[in-house]
Amino acid sequence: MPEKKQKIRVGLVFGGRSGEHEVSLASATSVMANLDKEKYDVVPIGITKEGSWLLGVAPPWLLEAEQGAGRWRLNRAPVTRRDWSSQPLSP
């Protein structure tokens, strides 16, 4: 039986307190969708417009939450996910 190769874990930091916040979220969404999921384990690390760091929050979820339509409030700790590669990119 062939040995399963271990994935490379990559931290993807996006968002931030910049005027380019939404562009960063769109770029991160594209990167997450296009990285080889067989080779990389992507750990999303979002930064809100206020500067809070959120581990395990996919870019579209952060954008939705910031626009007030999110499933949770940003002032609460988000649910972090152990296997982010299997999570959908859309909320």
Report d(CA 77, CA 90) in Å as an integer.
Answer: 19
Res 5: pLDDT: 82
> What does the DSSP 8-state code read for residue 77?
P
Neighbours of 77 (CB within 10 A): 10
pTM: 0.68
Report d(CA 62, CA 90) in Å as an integer.
Answer: 10
Res 2: pLDDT: 67
- pLDDT band with cut points at 50, 70 and 90 for residue 4: confident
3-state secondary structure 13-44: EEECCCCCHHHHHHHHHHHHHHCCCCCEEEEE
**All domains of the chain in start order, with CATH:** 1-57 (3.40.50.20)
pLDDT tens for each residue of 24-80: 999 999 999 999 999 999 999 999 888 989 888 888 888 877 776 444 444 444 444
